Each structure stands twice: as structure tokens, then as C-alpha cells.
Structure 1
Amino acid sequence: MAEKVPPEIEQVAQQLDELQEKYNNLLNQRLIVESELKEINKLLETLNNIPPETKIYRSVGNIFFAEDRDKLVKELTEKKETDELIYERFKKDEEDLKKQISTLQEKLRGLLSKYYQKVSTPVTKTGSGAS
């Protein structure tokens, strides 16, 4: 017969699952922003390495539009700055979640340890004349 796990253990395990899911989602978002930053950096490097008189085009769907180089550099620089702030925030949030996950893991280990000690230790009744 399987014993029912105490509600406290179930609750901590559920909190741990939720935090790990939140961490994974945050990690995926950070990786997307990191990828965007790499792309922006490559674009800015390319724009800075070509002569100023070179015509620049931007693709919108299947159509190419002429773009002002300085305007594009300014736009990309602003996007880069915003993404860097978002990236740093994600990294900080990740570290906070790692700490919370670690704390919950320790709590769960302690609860499980106590629970399995109780389960594996035989219970003996002491008392006067109870049958």
C-alpha cells in the first residue's frame, strides 16, 4: 500500500516546479534578447565599416525601401540600449530564481528526509493497558 505524501511536501514540490518553469521561460526570453543583441551588433559593425555614401535598404516583407544610414544607426543603437537593459534585468531575475530554486530544493530535501525517517522508523505504542 502506497502512503500518501504529506501536503507540505506536495506544496513545496509544486512551488519548485513552478519556479523551474518560470526560470526556463526567463532563460528562453534572455536567449532571444541575446540573439537580437548579437544581430544588432553585427548590423552596427557593418554599417560603421561601409562608406557613408553607400545606399542602405531595409526589407519590409517582400519590398525593399531606401533607408537613411544615420537614422538606421540611431534606431539600432537605441534598440541595442533597450535590449541591453532587458538582458541585464533577465540575468538578475535568473540569479534570483536560481537562489529561490536552491532554497526550495534544500527545504524539500529536508522535508523528504524527515518524512522518510518517520516512514522507515517503526512506531511503537506505549501507554497503560490500551488494546
Structure 2
Amino acid sequence: MSKDNNMVNTYRQQLMYLSQQKQQLQVQVNVLDSTVKELENTKETKVYKGVGNIFILKDKTDVIKETKETKETVELRLKTVEKQENDTLKRLNDLSKENKKEDKPKDESNTEGIA
């Protein structure tokens, strides 16, 4: 039983971590999406792109392309994290069901002895 409780706690910790990671990735996707929209709406043909501690002047279409590629990469990571989260949740639910099945006969035998 102690081993099962440890597994339940491990799955819960994994779910919390994956949930936080998912939230961060969703924020990144939203920021990148807004960035693309702003770049597409600007009339400038050259824009500044932050690279480390400096900004460089680049062609707007190149920056849009790079930003869209980054967004696609982040979206793929987000899908992976969502899949991991779903798998972990399923394992946690399965383990919880197993624990309930194991506990049920013990509870029934205790009530029979009392009557």
C-alpha cells in the first residue's frame, strides 16, 4: 500500500509540473501569436529583432517567418506536454481505481466481523 501511495504522490507531482509547463508554453504561444499579428500590421519593411542583449535591424518578412517557426516549435512542445499530462492522469486514475478495489474487500470484511 505504501508503494501505491508513493506512486500516487509521484503522479500528482508530475501532473503539477506538467500543468505549470503547459501554462508557460500557452503563454509563449499567445505572445508569439500577438507578435506575428503586430509585425504583419506594421507598415515598416525593416524591424528590430532582439538578439541577446542587442537589437538588430532585419527584414520584416524574415522576422515574421522566424517567429512563426518558433511558434510552431512551441506548439509542438505544448502538444507533447498535453499528451504527457493526459497519460499521467490516466495512470493516476487507474492506480486510484486499483487502490479502491483493494480497499473495498478489507472494508467489507471489517463490517462483517462487527455485526
**Structure 1 pair 61/79, CA: closer, same or farther in 2 (3 Å)?**
closer
Displacement of 1:122 in angstroms is 3.4
Q: Scaled by the length of structure 1, what TM-score is found? A: 0.74
Is residue 56 of structure 2 the alignment partner of residue 65 of structure 1? yes
Is contact 2:48-2:56 (8 Å) kept?
yes
Q: Spell out, residue by residue over 1:13-48, the C-alpha distance to the aligned partner (whole angstroms, 9 max, x if none).
A: 111111111111111111111110000000000001
- 1:32 alignment partner AA: Q
- Partner residue of 2:43 out of 51, 72, 77: 51
Bigger-Rg structure (1/2): 1
For 1:119 and 1:68, locate their aligned partners in 2 and report how far apart those are by CA, in whole Å. 76
Is contact 2:49-2:63 (8 Å) kept?
no
Is contact 2:29-2:71 (8 Å) kept?
yes
Number of aligned positions between the proteins: 114
- Partner residue of 1:37 out of 17, 29, 37: 29
For 1:20 and 1:115, locate their aligned partners in 2 and report how far apart those are by CA, in whole Å. 25
Q: Scaled by the length of structure 2, what TM-score is found? A: 0.83
Q: Which runs of 5+ in 1 are unaligned?
A: 1-8, 124-131
Q: Which runs of 5+ in 2 are unaligned?
A: none
- 1:73 alignment partner AA: I
Comparing 113-122 with 81-90, greater Cα deviation is found at 113-122
| Root mean square deviation of aligned Cα | 2.1
Is residue 80 of structure 2 the alignment partner of residue 89 of structure 1? yes
Residue 27 of structure 2: SS of its match in structure 1?
A: helix
